[in-house]
Amino acid sequence: MHYLLFYEAVKDYAALRLQYREAHLAYAKKAVERGELLLGGAFANPVNGAALLFNADSPKVAETFAMNDPYVVNGLVIKWHVREWTTVVGPWAAKYVNVKWA
């Protein structure tokens, strides 16, 4: 299953995150190595949050990631939530649907 983790960040997030960026990326890299985190990155224009895509059996993996992320722990993320995402098209789709294209 796929889960999306959404972050809502503080004002000036782009500048404030620099001091925690190395720790955040090292933390994220470990989740990638475990096969949990597939993609992640900040929103652009404005840089006011982020989204991360997880592959897991339950939302607990994404929730645990958020609760221990240096950006969250240090107050750069003011709000976060996880949504289950039913992916059906594409090479990483969890429930691939064979569609006949016109």
- Block mean pLDDT (10 aa), the chain, length 102: 97 96 98 98 96 97 98 98 94 79 61
In this structure, what are the phi and psi dihedrals at residue 13, rounded to the nearest 5 degrees?
Answer: -55, -45
Domain spans of the chain, in order of start = 2-85
Residue 89 DSSP one-character state? S
Q: Which CATH number is 2-85 given?
A: 3.30.70.1060
- Separation between Cα atoms, residue 86 and residue 90, nearest integer Å: 12
DSSP secondary structure, 39-54, as one string: EEEE--SS--EEEEEE
What's the pLDDT score for residue 89?
86
Total-model pTM: 0.92
What's the pLDDT score for residue 94?
87
What's the pLDDT score for residue 31?
98
- Separation between Cα atoms, residue 83 and residue 63, nearest integer Å: 10
What's the pLDDT score for residue 102?
61
